[in-house]
């Protein structure tokens, strides 16, 4: 019997050979679903194209003693840490200003979004070095709602995988320790501080690391198939390999070890340059790596070279150029790109075909060609 979607993807995650090439996407963007597919849900999207599904979920809850809870807006709250939001008028963007109240001071941050519904920061939460003292003393950590995760896993069944990410800072953040710090302070300033005040950077990272570790320790029994860590600000498009080794790997490798102790797999997300740090990322202990962005999309990945160097150590996810092959080309061009990826990285298994991160616009005919051709790539 043919493997199910779930079986194919799990085989690849375990660096085994499935009976065909698993094929999926990263996040399915709300903008794309509304503009091109009448607002259908993620699972309907995967079913429509016959793709192997990733269904994302990150249900959180407060602590059993009631000292930490999830507020009506979905933020982690306590008596000493409460977030309010005010929407400010703007003709072009949705602009929200958030205020964090603590017993010893107030923090603020402003987030903008446009029609693509992908947010960005215009005012960072941490504005001076003393602000991290408020994070360290008062920022609470959430607990994973294991029962809710497992209900999602049951609903997915054999159609794909249950995926989440290591918890990030409320309001705006990302899973990796360095990446989360960057979201709170700004990457340009953060890079400068690695030279001017590296001890402060490490102190900041330690605060965010401890919160993530506390969350990971609540993951036992959650039937996630894979959880994401990392982020693009840790790529060599942004920082040097030396900074990765000094400020990224030490924290994220410990989080990965803790996730393994909790029975979880980790995919390390690096959307950007990867080639100079391929082995360094693999050495963190991650079970899988993504996104293997090609040079034509601003990355640097030679997929064949990456397979040769780390393909026997981690599952590889990504490597497909969605910018050039989900829009503005012929279906046969998309199919040829799928076949090249399979022939380059698929040998022996341990490879999941996926676009290099998410996409906003795409021709439905080309997504269909992408999915269909991958299903024809058999072992």
* Res 91: pLDDT: 79
Find where tokens 């994973």 sit.
144
- Mapped onto helix, strand or coil, the DSSP state of residue 23 is strand
CA distance 72 to 94: 20
* Res 153: pLDDT: 98
Question: Mean pLDDT by 10-residue block, N- to C-terminus, for the chain (379 residues)?
Answer: 95 97 96 96 97 97 97 97 92 93 98 92 97 98 98 97 98 97 98 98 98 98 98 97 98 98 98 97 98 96 98 97 97 98 97 95 98 97
Which residues lie closer than 8 Å to 240 by C-beta, 6 or more apart? none
Domain boundaries, the chain: 5-62+130-375
CATH class of 5-62+130-375: alpha beta
* Res 88: pLDDT: 85
Tokens of 255: 């989080």
DSSP 20: B
By CB neighbour count within 10 A (0-12 exposed, 13-18 middle, 19+ buried), where does 188 fall?
Answer: exposed
CA distance 256 to 252: 6
* Res 172: pLDDT: 96
Among residues 8, 24, 16, 6, which one has the least CA distance to residue 312? 16
Which residues lie closer than 8 Å to 70 by C-beta, 6 or more apart? 60, 61, 62, 76, 77, 142
Number of Cβ within a 10 Å radius of residue 155:
12
Find where tokens 């446009």 sit.
114
CA distance 268 to 282: 9
* Res 209: pLDDT: 98
């Amino acid at each position: 019997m043919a493997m199910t979607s779930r079986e194919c993807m799990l085989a690849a995650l375990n660096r085994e050979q499935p009976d065909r090439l698993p094929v999926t996407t990263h996040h399915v963007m709300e903008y794309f679903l509304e503009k091109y597919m009448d607002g259908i849900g993620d699972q309907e999207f995967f079913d429509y194209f016959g793709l192997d599904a990733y269904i994302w979920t990150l249900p959180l809850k407060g602590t059993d003693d009631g000292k930490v809870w999830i507020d009506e807006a979905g933020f982690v709250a306590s008596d000493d840490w409460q977030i309010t939001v005010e929407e400010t008028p703007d003709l072009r963007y949705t602009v929200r200003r958030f205020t964090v109240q603590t017993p010893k001071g107030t923090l603020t941050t402003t987030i903008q979004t446009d029609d693509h519904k992908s947010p960005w920061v215009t005012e960072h939460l941490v504005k001076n070095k003393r602000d991290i003292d408020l994070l360290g003393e008062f920022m609470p950590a959430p607990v994973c709602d294991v029962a809710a995760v497992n209900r999602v896993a049951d609903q997915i069944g054999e159609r794909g995988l249950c995926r989440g990410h290591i918890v990030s800072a409320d309001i705006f953040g990302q899973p990796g320790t360095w990446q989360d710090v960057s979201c709170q302070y700004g990457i340009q300033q953060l890079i400068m501080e690695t030279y001017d005040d590296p001890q402060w950077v490490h102190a900041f990272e330690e605060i965010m690391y401890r919160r993530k570790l506390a969350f990971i320790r609540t993951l036992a029994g959650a039937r996630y198939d894979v959880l994401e860590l990392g982020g693009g600000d840790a790529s060599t498009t942004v920082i040097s390999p030396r900074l990765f080794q000094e400020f990224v790997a030490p924290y994220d490798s410990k989080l990965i070890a803790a996730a393994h102790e909790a029975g979880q797999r980790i995919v390390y997300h690096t959307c950007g340059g990867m080639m100079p740090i391929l082995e360094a990322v693999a050495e963190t202990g991650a079970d899988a790596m993504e996104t293997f962005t090609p040079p034509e999309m601003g990355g640097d990945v030679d997929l064949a070279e990456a397979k040769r160097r780390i393909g026997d150590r981690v599952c590889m996810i990504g490597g497909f150029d969605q910018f050039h092959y989900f829009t503005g080309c012929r279906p046969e061009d998309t199919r040829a790109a799928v076949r090249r990826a399979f022939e380059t990285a698929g040998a022996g298994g341990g490879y999941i075909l996926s676009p290099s991160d998410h996409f906003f616009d795409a021709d439905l005919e080309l997504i269909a060609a992408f999915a269909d051709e991958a299903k024809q790539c058999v072992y």
